[in-house]
Amino acid sequence: MSSPVRATVVQASNKAEKLLKEAAALGSQLVVFPEAFIGGYPRGHNFADQSPRGKESFRKYHASAINVPDGYTLYCTVLFFDPEGNYLGKHRKLMPTYRERLVWGFGDCSTTPVYDTPYGKLGSVICWENRMPLLRTAMYGKGIEIYCAPSADSGDTWVATMRHVAMEGGCYVLSPIQFCRRKDYPPPPEYLYSPTEEDVTPDSIVWAGGSVIISPTGEVLAGPNYEGEGLFTADLDVRGEIPKAKFMFDVVGHYARPDVLSLTVNNRPLLPVTFTSSPSKIKDDEMDECKDV
């Protein structure tokens, strides 16, 4: 886990590259970053403020996002890359939580991919999306084996949630969580973390982390850690452990009752404007104009 970078995209990318090199030196073949690692989580921002100061605050936040491809709406997004650094695709958060809805747009199920990789079938669900049973079921239906759950939730119940997801889906769960100190954010008065800013020192922990890696049987393989930034690793035996877990409980297999309960997922892009002369198959980079954090 690591602190998101509230800086330029270049600075954030440099930190990501440094951490990737450290992980590779440990032999890691898959690396997952916390939610909103590049661009930063909008903690402490008052995006309900429509004053010139509030608009300028949003402009700065918007400038710290990544163009995928371009535009003005921000989405909380996971980007997938292969080992050679080639872009595979993205998952946009379906339902921003609480005040996140003031700054982030809503994704749709056209960006809920599960990739068949040499390490296992890989996908991602972000933060409190993991509390949405139907979205989890959709991911299980796609055969997900390595379930990545980047988050900003460092609460006491998060580890229990991740253990439940691992056992429910019979999959490995990797949940990197933000760890932040006050100095990771701009200083006052430009940015006020809380009304009691005078009680907070630069080294004060403002988000406690708690990253975990969970096995398909709910065993905690690494973490949770609340001490600081760090790299957490575990060996995943996808071909060995997942069949054992599915033998006992396969939520979309032998333990399903489609005669009683079933799920239909609309995985088409939900576009606000459609042109009748457009090609029937819309390419990912033509789907809309947006920016992702």
- Residue 145 among the catalytic residues: no
In sequence order, what DSSP letters do the residues of 178-232 get, joined into one string? -EEEGGGSPPTTT--SSTTGGG--TT-EEEE--EEEE-TTS-EEEEEE-SS----
From 76, 90, 121, 127, the catalytic residue: 127
From 35, 100, 168, 241, the catalytic residue: 35
Q: CB of 215 within 8 A of CB of 166?
A: yes
From 93, 121, 246, 291, the catalytic residue: 93
C-alpha to C-alpha distances, 177 to 9, 58, 225, 231, 265, nearest whole angstrom: 20, 24, 10, 11, 28
- Residue 127 among the catalytic residues: yes
Q: CB of 147 within 8 A of CB of 139?
A: yes
- Residue 35 among the catalytic residues: yes
Taking the C-alpha atoms of residue 218 and residue 272, their distance in angstroms, rounded to an integer, is 41
Q: Which residues are catalytic?
A: 35, 93, 127
